[in-house]
Chain A
Amino acid sequence: MLQEIKKTLWLFAGIALLAQISWAGVNVPDWVRQAASQTLPKYEPDTNAVVLLDQTDFTVTAPGEYIEHSRHVVKILRHEGRDEGFLAMDVSQKEKLLSIHAWITDAAGNDYELKDKDFLESGASDENLYDDIRYRRARAPAADTGSVVAFEYEVRRHAWLNQLHWFFQEPNPVHEANMTLQLPAGWEYKTSSDGAAAVEPVKMGENRWTWTARDVPAIDHEALMPAFWALSGRMEVAYFGGGDRGTKSGSWNALGDWYGGLIAGRRSPTPELSAKALQLTAGKNSFDEKIKAVTSFLQAEVRYVAIEIGIGGFQPHPAGDIFHARYGDCKDKATLLSSMLQEVGIKSNYVLIHTERGVVHPNLPSDFFNHAIIAIELPSEIKSDAYQSVVTAKTGKRYIIFDPTDEETPAGELRAQLQNTYALLVSDSGGELIHTPLLSPDTNLLTRTGHFILSSDGTLGGEVMEDSSGDLASAERWNLVSDTQQQRSQKLEHRLSRSLQAFTVESSDIQHLDQIQQDLIYKFKFTTPQYAQIRGPLMLVRPRVLGEKSAHVERERKPRQYPIELRRTSRETDTYEIEIPQEYKVDDIPDPVNIDVGFASYQSKVQVEGSKIRYWREYIVRDLSVDPDHIADWRKLQGVIGSDEAAAVVLKHNP
């Protein structure tokens, strides 16, 4: 609702804005003219726009403060590139916007200008109940094919950490990107980049350096591609005043140290908090019982509410406050959980992570995280395989990685989004980059069984039971937990409509929806007339009654560049028994299928057992990513699954 209101207001504001722009005396700066007059390489015909210049100058003025001066010049090549006319930058409460401007030259050579007053102010995040980030936005006039849009602003930034991010790759090709760093006398810097995107600096003056990247290719959209920020070329710059080199940034250890400072004292318990922790674990002696009692409390009784002001984007509230209000954001929930665990004798540490796999890169020490979770230290007497989400730190300590914000994944498990990715373990001695585990397919099971009776008129009726565990169960719980009964019925009907023509759901029952420690059970009964096609003496029956494993990913127009990201590892089996009418016998069955492409395998078979057709299949996904080199395997697998899902058994009427 609020989102809709915001959209409406934004549109309204945009129109109001455009109607009020003054245009007298436009004086387009030379740097814009210069960028626009460059000879460009030839681009693909579907290139929407090209970034002629992306220049960012950072001038560090004092500890915790720097000036960011940005120039961005884009030429729109197609109508689809018009979004480049939407200009935006953010500024937080402690920062000051010093200037903001835009110039546009359209295809006919007319010049336009946007000044400070032409930029409206808007809030940033819809996810947070409150934060202090403000956007300044404008829509450039005449932003259409052939136009050049130049955007310049300067802002005094407040730095919570002496670290700068330079992203020099975009969804459009970048002709030239450069970054300049000016440090106070005696200050130093340290850069990090991954090997492929390394850019060498050029010294431009006293304590002033420039990095330049030219003709950086676009990051084209591909279906199921990794996160944009995991692909974008990027450099991290840590800088230091005299004497504190490496202590606040520039390495994972330093970053951990920095965060350790922010959380210092935040986990101190209050008497109420302590009493609650003890009450929750009263009579529970084992480690497992204790962590389950406390983590369940965090998941069930502490709501996710994000209020982030200033350093509040990084620093959690005190545990006592969170406990009292019973709400907080991810780092708050981690804080309260850690504090409560501490009260029952269990140690734990913060873990900073990004919810998009691959964004945290081991070669790029950075605070580019968007989520805080927790690492619960495993006592030495507990075996590692007692829990799925266990990592071992360099110290030899073993931890259960747990996300208290995730209300549907129990302690010991880890949702797929956070698997097989890097994260920063924050400990007393600093930070350590850890790699979260990739869970085995056997931790995410979906076992579907169905028993059906086929009538001689082609009607199929029967009962299905789905038993899911692990991430598959968590995802289904997220899908259903806030629905009314009517909404759940609609979802079931919608799901069945993917496989069935017309049907009537006779009953449905969901078990253990709120008991996340147990498998989720979904049972339903339905009848579908005309399921089988009757053709004179023949009857055609699709033995794969329900469930779609094949992914409809469009064939790319160009060779695939990026891996395919799969949702999760899993083992999914379907077993359907169909009692056929007495008047018919089986005349033809599809051939068995068995394909293994490494990252996944699929097999199915149809058997005739007396008067029953028995269909069985198993789909196993072992990896979360399919390399572009294996795209042919991916397509072959999907083709095989798609064919198997549509294959039919032919019945023949008894003479």
Chain B
Amino acid sequence: MPSLIRANHCRLLLFAFLLTCRVSWSADWPPITPEEQKMTTLAEQPGAAAVILNREETDDDLLHYHHTYIRMKILTEAGREYADIQIPYDRHGGNISEIAGRTVHADGSVLPFEGKALDKVIVKQHDLRYQVKSFSLPDVQVGSIIEYRYSYRYGDNSLIQPQWVMQGDLFQKRAFFKNIPYDFKSSNITVTLGNGQVANGVNWTSYMPKEHLPQIRTMPNSYWVDLEVNDIPAFVDEPFQLPADTLKWRVNFYYSSRSKVEDFWKDAGKTWNKHAESFMGHKNGLAEEVSKIVAATDTPEQKVRKIYADVSKLENQSYIPYRAVQEEHALGLKPDHGAEDVLRQRTGDHEDLTRLFVAMVRAARIPAWLMWVPNRSEAFFDPQYMSTNQLVAEIAIVSLNGKDVFLDPGTKYCPYGVLNWHYSGIKGIRQSAEKGTEISQSADSDYKQAITVRVAKVTLNDQGSLDGTVDIAFYGIEAMNWRRQGGRTDEEGRKKLLEDELKRWLPGNSEITLTKIPQWENTEEPVVAGFKISSQTAVSAGKRWLVTPHIFEVNNKAAFPAAQRTNAVYFDYPTQEIDEVHLTLPPNTEVESLPPNDDVKLDYALYQNQQKQEAPNKIFARRDFINGGVLFPVAEYKTVKDFYDKVKAGDDQQIVLKAAAHVAGN
């Protein structure tokens, strides 16, 4: 949704403008060109269901309206669904009006939309009221051109700045966007921003290709920003990509009190710092708590670890289900005004706990700071985008032996020394001993912080089934992920979670029983589980058996089957896998052939497998996999794909077994 702020008094609108606009909207539709009429396919997007021929969006904060016009060509039967129009809007803030539409057939005949747009409630309660205006254009066929327009008029006391999202699922021949912001210079009205500062202008951040940048247009008494773009490609969704919202061509507009980026972040940092320090400054009882849990003889790191463990024990409101005010009353909880309240009530959300941790570390006379970061599963920090809305969480930085150690005490089950990947390797604002605040980057995740170890000790029976045990250990981020899942269920649920995960790895129809229950609460320990398994893994090759030594990979499919790639490849965090399989063969069976060992190395990745016969009836197989990278530009796609293809090929290699007598016979 576009940002919405309240103006104190912006009622004196120019009525003449309004009338002019209305007149223009009620005018005829723009002429349809012969090329548009004749069009049957789209070379730029073969097979496309439809194409947007023209799209115009106007945002006017002087007259408080948003206007949309769309012309579209239907190219296939599936494309006819675009004739169903649904416009979600905030009914409390305004209303949709001036809806018009029509269908133009390939022969030039025109059917205007004469029905009534229907209003459907999405959600309504108190002051909250979101609705959808719905209508369907008549007799839409393949080859038809459909067009429609509507306006959203919002209250005189509201200002809304748009986010122009250019890309969607259809190719767009032409798109024109226009934003007429509120003119602060010619008004004595004061507009207060969310951060308490007074707005004095509009800013925008463009995520468009360089050749398509918004332009400022000036008139004697007004100005606007517009952008016309031709041939906008459809957005392509791919697996392992950055969040879609960060990839689409777009322009974000917002009112601001500053026009210079440096000034904005200096102010924003100052305001954030002031609030954070005020919160952490409420520290009654913190020193006493620290003195209880650390010893004078502890090293600084030992102290920090103990404080971290102490804070981790507190209730984490960001992890538990949302609690209503009623429940807080029942529990005797009051709003936190500072770190001391968090400690006293032994509960807080992600930010409360992080601030408490920093305050306690400071109480132990160890330098510590906060860092304010985005969640990179959704967005990345862009200093050019002058909005603190992009910063959503705080992490801690502790100085130990002159080094910054990044910690995340606010994420439930996050081990010491590890950041929840959402907040790792990402820019944000940090407190600084020298500069107050500054733009900085959090520590990167490392593959050593997300390790999975799997060990199978199995015996192959003469029916081709592997029977035995499997032990699994998850470390670091992987352990955190499992604990966060396991913490939301009971013992029965945790058993199911783990057994289901092993079933996901092993061949279908495997029988799996959890035999060793992990230690779920101690965040600093790995999650270790043991299982008894029976799995039909060996396959027939006439007189021979084929057995996959890397049994945990049998269900894995090629990670990157696509030959072409549009978007950069993005993994959540680096990972490491270590697998060992100890295989005992049935009597009268001999190894005819073992898979060759593999060793594939890149700067950021490694894949090794090794198979060896330790005794006539014993085979040992080990597999090491490391992906140490996170983001790979499209230009590197082939390399990434090639690596993963090799991993898949290595994982699929099989051991060839033969009846002993048959081998002897050869």
Q: Given that A78-B493, A327-B138, A501-B558 are contacting pairs, would A407 and B77 also be in contact in the complex, using a CB cutoff of 8 Å?
A: yes
Of chain A, the residue at the smallest CB distance from B653 is A533
| B contact residues around A538 at 8 Å (CB) | 592-593, 656
Q: Given that A129-B134, A300-B77, A486-B236 are contacting pairs, would A20 and B122 also be in contact in the complex, using a CB cutoff of 8 Å?
A: no
| B contact residues around A325 at 8 Å (CB) | 115, 136, 138-139
Which among B83, B510, B594 is the interface contact of A303 at CB below 8 angstroms? B83
Task: Give the shortest distance, in Å, between A114 (CB) and chain B (any CB).
Answer: 9
B180 contacts partner chain A, Cβ-Cβ < 8 Å: no
Which among A324, A555, A642 is the interface contact of B138 at CB below 8 angstroms? A324
Query: How far does the alpha carbon of A127 sit from the alpha carbon of B500 in the complex, in Å?
Result: 33
Which among A17, A119, A123, A514 is the interface contact of B120 at CB below 8 angstroms? A123
Of chain A, the residue at the smallest CB distance from B238 is A490
B615 contacts partner chain A, Cβ-Cβ < 8 Å: no
Which among A6, A21, A591 is the interface contact of B325 at CB below 8 angstroms? A21
B126 contacts partner chain A, Cβ-Cβ < 8 Å: yes
A639 touches B509 (CB 8 A): yes
Query: How far does the alpha carbon of A301 sit from the alpha carbon of B649 in the complex, in Å?
Result: 48
> 0/1 per residue, A504-517, Cβ < 8 Å to B?
11000000001000
A326 touches B76 (CB 8 A): no
Query: How far does the alpha carbon of A533 sit from the alpha carbon of B490 in the complex, in Å?
Result: 45
> 0/1 per residue, A621-655, Cβ < 8 Å to B?
00000000000000100110011001111100000
B80 contacts partner chain A, Cβ-Cβ < 8 Å: yes
| A contact residues around B508 at 8 Å (CB) | 550, 552-554, 638, 642
A142 touches B324 (CB 8 A): yes
> 0/1 per residue, B504-538, Cβ < 8 Å to A?
00011111000000000000000000000000100
A78 touches B490 (CB 8 A): yes
| A contact residues around B641 at 8 Å (CB) | 502
Which among A123, A145, A497, A533 is the interface contact of B595 at CB below 8 angstroms? A533
A635 touches B121 (CB 8 A): no
Query: How far does the alpha carbon of A325 sit from the alpha carbon of B114 in the complex, in Å?
Result: 10
A13 touches B128 (CB 8 A): yes
A106 touches B330 (CB 8 A): yes
Query: Among A186-194, A436-444, A477-485, which stretch is in contact with chain B?
Result: A477-485
Residues of A in contact with B, size category: 35 or more
A23 touches B536 (CB 8 A): no
B324 touches A112 (CB 8 A): yes
Query: How far does the alpha carbon of A301 sit from the alpha carbon of B83 in the complex, in Å?
Result: 13
| A contact residues around B88 at 8 Å (CB) | 2, 5
Which among A108, A144, A552 is the interface contact of B321 at CB below 8 angstroms? A144
A501 touches B648 (CB 8 A): yes
A15 contacts partner chain B, Cβ-Cβ < 8 Å: yes
Residues of B in contact with A, size category: 35 or more
Task: Give the shortest distance, in Å, between A331 (CB) and chain B (any CB).
Answer: 16
Which among A123, A501, A505, A530 is the interface contact of B132 at CB below 8 angstroms? A123
B138 touches A554 (CB 8 A): no
Q: Given that A305-B84, A540-B654 are contacting pairs, would A17 and B78 also be in contact in the complex, using a CB cutoff of 8 Å?
A: no
Query: How far does the alpha carbon of A18 sit from the alpha carbon of B511 in the complex, in Å?
Result: 44
A493 touches B563 (CB 8 A): yes
A457 contacts partner chain B, Cβ-Cβ < 8 Å: no
A120 touches B125 (CB 8 A): yes
Of chain B, the residue at the smallest CB distance from A78 is B490
A80 touches B648 (CB 8 A): no
Task: Give the shortest distance, in Å, between A651 (CB) and chain B (any CB).
Answer: 10
Q: Given that A301-B141, A497-B561, A502-B645 are contacting pairs, would A129 and B84 also be in contact in the complex, using a CB cutoff of 8 Å?
A: yes
A130 contacts partner chain B, Cβ-Cβ < 8 Å: yes
Task: Give the shortest distance, in Å, between B150 (CB) and chain A (any CB).
Answer: 16
> 0/1 per residue, A1-41, Cβ < 8 Å to B?
01001100110111111111111000000000000000000
Interface centre among B325, B546, B558, B641 (most CB of A within 10 A): B558
Residues facing A in B83-109 (CB within 8 A) are 83-84, 86, 88
B81 contacts partner chain A, Cβ-Cβ < 8 Å: yes
> 0/1 per residue, B534-553, Cβ < 8 Å to A?
00100111111010000000
A46 contacts partner chain B, Cβ-Cβ < 8 Å: yes
Query: Among B45-53, B345-353, B354-362, B473-481, which stretch is in contact with chain A?
Result: B45-53
> 0/1 per residue, B313-345, Cβ < 8 Å to A?
000000001111111011000000000000000
Q: Given that A301-B141, A486-B47, A639-B536 are contacting pairs, would A493 and B561 also be in contact in the complex, using a CB cutoff of 8 Å?
A: yes
Of chain A, the residue at the smallest CB distance from B500 is A554
Task: Give the shortest distance, in Å, between B129 (CB) and chain A (any CB).
Answer: 9
A271 contacts partner chain B, Cβ-Cβ < 8 Å: no
Residues facing B in A147-176 (CB within 8 A) are none
| B contact residues around A130 at 8 Å (CB) | 118, 120, 134
Task: Give the shortest distance, in Å, between B207 (CB) and chain A (any CB).
Answer: 19
Q: Given that A106-B330, A327-B138 are contacting pairs, would A5 and B656 also be in contact in the complex, using a CB cutoff of 8 Å?
A: no
Task: Give the shortest distance, in Å, between A3 (CB) and chain B (any CB).
Answer: 10
Which among B49, B125, B138 is the interface contact of A482 at CB below 8 angstroms? B49
Query: How far does the alpha carbon of A493 sit from the alpha carbon of B118 in the complex, in Å?
Result: 42
A540 touches B656 (CB 8 A): yes
Residues facing B in A299-335 (CB within 8 A) are 300-301, 303, 305, 307, 324-327
A567 contacts partner chain B, Cβ-Cβ < 8 Å: no
Of chain A, the residue at the smallest CB distance from B546 is A648
A326 touches B509 (CB 8 A): no
| A contact residues around B124 at 8 Å (CB) | 120-122
Query: How far does the alpha carbon of A108 sit from the alpha carbon of B331 in the complex, in Å?
Result: 10
A46 touches B492 (CB 8 A): yes
Which among A5, A13, A23, A588 is the interface contact of B326 at CB below 8 angstroms? A23
Task: Give the shortest distance, in Å, between A180 (CB) and chain B (any CB).
Answer: 32
| B contact residues around A554 at 8 Å (CB) | 500, 503, 508
B322 touches A646 (CB 8 A): no
B299 contacts partner chain A, Cβ-Cβ < 8 Å: no
| B contact residues around A9 at 8 Å (CB) | 122-123, 130
| A contact residues around B649 at 8 Å (CB) | 501-502, 530
A2 touches B86 (CB 8 A): yes
A646 touches B492 (CB 8 A): no
A394 contacts partner chain B, Cβ-Cβ < 8 Å: no
Of chain B, the residue at the smallest CB distance from A588 is B542
Which among B324, B592, B596 is the interface contact of A21 at CB below 8 angstroms? B324
B652 contacts partner chain A, Cβ-Cβ < 8 Å: yes
A256 contacts partner chain B, Cβ-Cβ < 8 Å: no
Of chain A, the residue at the smallest CB distance from B507 is A642
| A contact residues around B653 at 8 Å (CB) | 533
Residues facing B in A272-319 (CB within 8 A) are 300-301, 303, 305, 307
A589 contacts partner chain B, Cβ-Cβ < 8 Å: yes
| A contact residues around B130 at 8 Å (CB) | 5, 9
| A contact residues around B122 at 8 Å (CB) | 5-6, 9, 122-123
B291 contacts partner chain A, Cβ-Cβ < 8 Å: no
Query: How far does the alpha carbon of A486 sit from the alpha carbon of B641 in the complex, in Å?
Result: 18
B562 contacts partner chain A, Cβ-Cβ < 8 Å: yes
Q: Which residues of A contact B (CB under 8 A)?
A: 2, 5-6, 9-10, 12-23, 45-46, 78-80, 82, 106, 108, 110, 112, 117, 119-123, 129-131, 134, 141-142, 144-145, 300-301, 303, 305, 307, 324-327, 407, 481-490, 493-494, 496-498, 500-505, 514, 530, 533, 535-536, 538, 540, 550, 552-555, 557, 587-591, 635, 638-639, 642-643, 646-650
Q: Which residues of B contact A (CB under 8 A)?
A: 45-49, 76-81, 83-84, 86, 88, 115, 118, 120-126, 128, 130, 132, 134-136, 138-141, 234, 236, 321-327, 329-330, 464, 488-490, 492-493, 496, 500, 503, 507-511, 536, 539-544, 546, 557-558, 561-564, 592-596, 641, 645, 648-649, 652-654, 656
- A-B interface, 3 closest residue pairs, ranked by CB to CB distance from nearest: A482-B78, A588-B542, A502-B645
Can you give 26 contacting A-B residue pairs, CB < 8 Å?
A2-B86, A5-B122, A16-B128, A17-B125, A110-B330, A120-B125, A120-B128, A122-B123, A123-B121, A130-B120, A141-B323, A145-B490, A325-B136, A326-B140, A327-B136, A327-B140, A484-B234, A485-B47, A486-B45, A487-B47, A501-B652, A502-B649, A535-B596, A591-B542, A639-B536, A646-B546
5 more contacts with CB within 8 A, not counting A16-B128, A130-B118, A505-B563, are: A17-B125, A123-B122, A481-B76, A642-B508, A643-B540
